[in-house]
Structure 1
Amino acid sequence: MGCHKNNHAHPCQHSSSTCSDSEFILHKYIDFPKLTCLNEKAENSCLKIFTRQPKSIIDAEFVESDADEALLFFIPFTGLVILKSIIIMGAGDLTEYPKTVKLYPNKEGLDFENVEDFEAAQTIDLVADVNGLVKYPINVCKFQNVWSLNLYFSHNFGAESTKISFIGLSGEFRQAKKDLGFTLYELNPNPSDHKLEGFGSFTPQLT
């Protein structure tokens, strides 16, 4: 299947009102001790929105932005994953629901001062999803080898703060982190480590 160049996604409706545990299989591969959310009002409130299913959500439990409406998640994984779809549920008044999200795979060190300097791999226009029925498809071609993911929520539907009660990530797990270092090394090999017998080491010249 070919890759789509359009960075915007359109929502799809679930056929039922609940989601199976296996649908959010990527959650078990999140490196939770390293997961962060910039501008969250309550420290570590972001952790709980990845650890339950939509059917078990209590509206009183959510992550809320503090100084303004923006939230910036950094979600590291314990290995390489393929991201295929995402569900985002808001909380509180409908005006507090997130309106857009920008996705940045494998971009560490993002903050509110530099995030706009980078082009998002995908931007999704969100609807006010109350029950977790809206699944947003991901451009899989751009999310094949993901070891970390940033989610940038810049706007909501008009409130002073943004509230999110659940983020669901579905896809496939590819490779454990213990094998990841060698994989990344081989994607960017050092020419001096690859010697031709009888010729010694060499450094290719680019022309």
Structure 2
Amino acid sequence: MASRGKCCGDPNHQHDDPERGIQYSLYTKINTNDLECLNESTEGSGKLVFKPWEDRLNRESFVESDADEELLFNIPFTGSVKLKGIIVIGDSSDSHPSKMRLFKNRESMTFDDVALIPDQEFEMQKDTEGLLEYVTKVVTFNHVTHLTIHFPKNFGEEHTRIYYIGLKGEYAEVHRHGVTICNYELRPNMSDHKNPLEDNINHPVA
């Protein structure tokens, strides 16, 4: 069953407060060089919607779909992410996306792959100010190194337009010590060639 976005519920909450901006700072952990948006009308425009919280209402930068209403984002992170929430700001018109589907750690997805069952999907509401947060299943979206977001349709327009995508969560760097160990172990080990008679000799531990 698809989930729905919800507001924080606090009428006194200011949605542009500094703490909220920190919560939605995962855009700084995206490998933007390899970020890919399929079916964007202007090349490279998909990268522009991942921006600082304070710039979320800037209507000068946006992505719009090309051939039809679908958009597909392949988002690689520079480390491991625990994804907790997503905010999507669209237009007040029917070009606003009406459904969002999330896939975890499936690199280089294309529109041929979206028939797969998503890890989570949401029925969306129009949001022009960033008031609605789509809360992800944290157990599922733990250790995310690559996130795919598929917007399959909007509210009725031929093209979909998005101004901002905010990602909320925790970040950890990935340490690749295993590779170093494997390379080290590929070197000849002289102990493998020792005299079998020495096996019963006790050696002091350094």
The two structures have a TM-score, normalised by structure 2, of 0.79
Identical residues among aligned pairs (%): 34
Residue by residue, what CA displacement relative to the aligned partner does 1:57-110 show, whole Å, maximum 9, x if unpaired?
2224210000000000011000001000110111262x0000001000100121
Give the direction of change, closer, same or farther, for the CA distance of 1:17–1:67 in structure 2 (3 Å limit): farther
The alignment covers a number of residue pairs equal to: 178
Output the amino acid matched with 1:36: E
1:62-141 to structure 2, matched below 5 A, reads: 62-91=62-91, 93=93, 95-116=94-115, 118-141=116-139
| Corresponding position of 2:166 | 168
Larger radius of gyration: 2
Give 1:18 shift.
2.2
Does the 8 Å contact 2:27/2:52 carry over to 1? Answer: no
Query: RMSD of the alignment, in Å?
Result: 2.3
Does the 8 Å contact 2:56/2:164 carry over to 1? Answer: no
Distance 1:22 1:92 in 2: 26
Pick the aligned partner of 2:157 from 132, 156, 159: 159
Runs of 5+ unmatched residues, structure 1? 1-6, 194-207
Distance 2:74 2:57 in 1: 22
| Corresponding position of 2:15 | 18
Output the amino acid matched with 1:8: A
Give 1:45 shift.
0.7
Give the direction of change, closer, same or farther, for the CA distance of 1:165–1:56 in structure 2 (3 Å limit): closer
Q: Secondary structure at the match of 2:27?
A: helix
Write out the 4+ residue segments of structure 1 that deviate beyond 3 Å after TM superposition: 14-17
Distance 1:73 1:49 in 2: 11
Distance 1:61 1:174 in 2: 29
Q: Secondary structure at the match of 1:51?
A: coil
The two structures have a TM-score, normalised by structure 1, of 0.78
Output the amino acid matched with 2:123: D
Distance 1:58 1:51 in 2: 10
Output the amino acid matched with 2:47: L
